[in-house]
Amino acid sequence: MPELPEVEIVKQSLKRAINHKKIRKVIVKNRNLRFKLPVNFEKTLQDKVISNVSRLSKYIIIEFKSGLFCIFHLGMSGTVHIIKKKIDKITNLSFYQYKQVPTRHNHIKFIFSNFKIIYNDPRRFGFFKLFKSLDELNIYFKKIGPEPFSKKFNFFYLYNKIKNKKKNIKNILLDQNIVAGLGNIYVNEILFYCKVDPKKKGSEISKKEIKKIIRYSNIVLKIAIKSGGSSIRDFKNANGDNGSFQKKFKIYGKKGYACPRNNCKGKIIKFFQTNRSSYMCQICQK
């Protein structure tokens, strides 16, 4: 599943393509995504002009000049493809799956004057939702926690959220109601930088470790975005460039490797927490 950096790259790519453009027509081939598309989805978006494309957590938000908002989530396998009149070899704006336009599972087409955007999703865990106003949108996102980049994600906030938690720190950081946008890959990396055992209870995290978690959450995500995200398979941005942060992974996917930290003789081990792969150094993460 794409995490905050990959969704940010998709947002940037999509914004360059569709901002200030008018949707001429919407064609829905399959309404049965994670949430069924409303019957008026096509007519509601037809002839609407896009005024901004933004992101919150792992959601992409499309704002229209009319005051309407459309959000979408890529789920496990959703991809976005741009098709110009002159067919490009690389069409995929998204994380995972095909570099080129797939022949199956193209559920929605957004037709613009000289190009079209296709939403493809084999597993159909992605979804789209419409909101008539900013107030409606804000209500929907009311329970989502602050992003790592937000000033609200600070020592006092995180301390108060975890000080009495028996849940392990990794699952706490994956909880979108506590901090928005963090996923499995980046939490593994962040906790390595912090020298924190992902199995450690929230209540056992020291004040010094809380400060490190806040600091490295910000640093790791910024590096990942600058690197174009992580290409586990075929992630491409609008320019057809691979994400390269996977080349900078310290521990994710490196079971059995020596710890990359200087003067540490530990090895990277792999185990599972709530059905997610966890990686840690058996010596320096305590």
Lowest-confidence region among 156-165, 247-256, 274-283 = 247-256
From CA 224, how far away is CA 237, in angstroms rounded? 13
Is the pLDDT at 277 greater than 50, yes or no? Answer: yes
Proportion of the chain above pLDDT 90, given as a percent = 75
pLDDT of residue 240: 45
Is the pLDDT at 85 greater than 80, yes or no? Answer: no
pLDDT of residue 2: 76
Q: Read off the pLDDT of each residue in 177-201 and give the average, rounded to a whole number.
A: 95
Indicate which residues carry an active-site annotation: 2-3, 58, 276
Q: Is the dihedral of CA 215, 225, 123, 255 positive or negative?
A: negative
From CA 180, how far away is CA 143, in angstroms rounded? 10
From CA 94, how far away is CA 236, in angstroms rounded? 6
Query: Rounded mean pLDDT of the chain?
Result: 89
pLDDT band at residue 99 using 50, 70 and 90 as cut-offs: low
Residue (of 194, 190, 191, 254) closest to 224 by Cα position: 190
Residues 119-176: pLDDT tens digits?
999 999 999 999 999 999 999 999 999 999 999 999 999 999 999 999 999 999 999 9
Is the pLDDT at 247 greater than 60, yes or no? Answer: no
pLDDT of residue 248: 63
Give the angle 22-142-73 at the CA atoms, nearest 5°: 45
Q: Which one-letter amino acid corresponds to residue 104?
A: R
Residues 24-57: pLDDT tens digits?
999 999 999 999 999 999 999 999 999 999 999 9
Domains and CATH numbers, the chain: 4-140 (3.20.190.10), 155-281 (1.10.8.50)
From CA 154, how far away is CA 160, in angstroms rounded? 10
pLDDT of residue 95: 54
